[in-house]
Amino acid sequence: MKDRHEITTPETIEREVLSEPKLRPTSLHEFIGQNKVKEALKVSIEAALRRDEPLDHLLIHGPPGLGKTTLASLLAKEMGVGFRATSGPILEKPADLVGPLSNQEEGDILFIDEIHRLRPVMEEYLYPAMEDFRVEIRLAEGPKAQTMTMDVERFALVGATTRFGLLTSPMRSRFGIIQRVNFYPPEELEEIIIRSSMIMNVECAPQGAEILAKRSRGTPRIANRLLRRVRDYALVRADGTITKKVAEEALRMLEVDEYGLDEMDDRVLRTIIEKFDGGPVGAQTLAVAISEDLSTLTDVYEPFLIQEGFLMRTPRGRVATSRAYVKCGFDPPKRAGNQQEKEQLDLVD
Ligand code: ADP
């Protein structure tokens, strides 16, 4: 059961990381979609190169699996500088940052994933590094230990987050460029699938790619994952080619429905409808009811369900839409407050 649910989860799954680098685009030119973001980045790169200065600190936000890490590494490539990656939760104490910051060369990129999960003490430590390229170093342990200020090479910090709203405002204000990545339309996912299938040496018919693209939750990481699973199915149950029929059969077996929703999305919607009368229900309560943690619910499942019109976030909690009722096989309720709630959508995170 768990395995099935993992397929359409946009988060990274450890064992997959080893096989993913091959599929990662190796230049901005190869990076499909997100044209607005790419254009803005190209201008920043060009300007930094002309001024012979490091890139401005950059924040990329948006749901998991949409290419934030890839974009950051491509920036380093285009700038011709070094790239070092770390993440918010693994940086526990200032000493963890001294190494990365002091070993950098002029213009290098330091990438911090899940930057909203940095501890406050780490944020404080980063501010002077970001602004004045200075860090404090403790010369010994203990409360009375002396500290020394050290200059570091000018670098560019690239932060990525799935939760823009959780970033503190002092942190936010230190980024010169802020870009949002969005879910990909099916045509772009189709291109990504065709490109990946060529790298993986799999025969994939355009109609097969079209089916996979429509069910990838707007997310390249899921598109690649579905492609791998469908490739296996094509090999074992057909002649190895991913045709429309093979793709449909494989996805049926994997229980990925025509909207790209999986068993967990289904559980979210059914729980709201069956246990909470369609909502509103608070996110915390909903997370407990589906036995999932709150951040997985809000960062991984909700954004796509909201974008596709299955779920609404209202000031009073989550509400299942008529579309969700129909998808789950129920008659939609007649709700007077529906429109009003829709209008208030933008007021809440
Ligand atoms: P994030 O950091 O946003 O979670 P990643 O940068 O790790 O996402 O991207 C996940 C995977 O999806 C990458 O390994 C890459 O193979 C693929 N990918 C992401 N964006 C694109 C794109 N625009 N074109 C092609 N492949 C992409």
Cβ pair 228, 247 in contact under 8 A: no
Residue having the nearest C-alpha atom to atom 4 of ligand 1: 65
Question: In angstroms, rounded to a whole number, what is the distance separating the alpha carbons of residues 311 and 251?
Answer: 23
Numbered ranges of CATH 1.10.10.10 in the chain: 263-345
214 close to ligand 1 (CB < 6 Angstrom)? no
- CA 134 to ligand 1 centroid distance, Å: 33
Cβ pair 257, 215 in contact under 8 A: yes
218 close to ligand 1 (CB < 6 Angstrom)? no
Cβ pair 154, 121 in contact under 8 A: no
Give the pLDDT of residue 145: 74
Question: In angstroms, rounded to a whole number, what is the distance separating the alpha carbons of residues 18 and 2?
Answer: 21
pTM for the full predicted model:
0.87
24 close to ligand 1 (CB < 6 Angstrom)? yes
Residue having the nearest C-alpha atom to atom 15 of ligand 1: 24
* CATH assignment, 186-253: 1.10.8.60
Give the pLDDT of residue 40: 95
- CA 83 to ligand 1 centroid distance, Å: 17
Catalytic machinery residues: 68-69, 113, 162, 221
Architecture in CATH of 34-180: 3-Layer(aba) Sandwich (3.40)
Residue having the nearest C-alpha atom to atom 9 of ligand 1: 67
259 burial via Cβ count (<10 Å: 0-12, 13-18, 19+): middle
Helix, strand or coil, per DSSP, at residue 322: helix
Residue having the nearest C-alpha atom to atom 5 of ligand 1: 67
- CA 64 to ligand 1 centroid distance, Å: 9
Residue having the nearest C-alpha atom to atom 6 of ligand 1: 67
Give the pLDDT of residue 201: 92
Mean pLDDT per 10-residue section of the chain, whose length is 349 residues: 57 57 88 96 95 95 95 95 94 90 94 96 94 86 80 96 92 96 97 96 96 95 95 94 96 88 91 96 96 90 94 95 95 67 45
User: Which residue out of 8, 16, 24, 164 has the highest number of ligand 1 atoms within 8 Å of its CB and is therefore the one to mutate?
Assistant: 24
> At what angle are helices 68-79 and 35-51 packed, to 10 degrees?
30
Give the pLDDT of residue 295: 87
Give the pLDDT of residue 347: 41
Question: In angstroms, rounded to a whole number, what is the distance separating the alpha carbons of residues 168 and 5?
Answer: 33
Q: What is the pLDDT of residues 286-327, one digit of tens each?
A: 999 999 989 889 988 999 999 999 999 999 999 999 999 999
Give the pLDDT of residue 345: 47
Which residues on neighbouring strands pair with residue 138, listed in sequence order? Answer: 147
Tokens standing for residue 153: 């090479």
**AA letter at 287:** A
Question: In angstroms, rounded to a whole number, what is the distance separating the alpha carbons of residues 59 and 289?
Answer: 34
Give the right CATH number for 263-345 from 3.90.1150.10, 3.40.50.300, 1.10.10.10, 2.40.50.140. Answer: 1.10.10.10
- CA 222 to ligand 1 centroid distance, Å: 9
- CA 308 to ligand 1 centroid distance, Å: 21
Work out which ligand 1 atom sits closest to the CA atom of 162. Answer: 3
Question: In residues, how long is the chain?
Answer: 349
67 close to ligand 1 (CB < 6 Angstrom)? yes
Give the pLDDT of residue 340: 47
Numbered ranges of CATH 3.40.50.300 in the chain: 34-180
Give the pLDDT of residue 344: 47
Tokens standing for residue 168: 């503190």
Give the pLDDT of residue 178: 96
Name the residue with tokens 């599929």: 23
Q: List CB contacts of 187: < 8 A, sequence separation 6 or more.
A: 213
Helix, strand or coil, per DSSP, at residue 187: helix
- CA 219 to ligand 1 centroid distance, Å: 8
69 close to ligand 1 (CB < 6 Angstrom)? yes
Question: In angstroms, rounded to a whole number, what is the distance separating the alpha carbons of residues 26 and 37?
Answer: 17
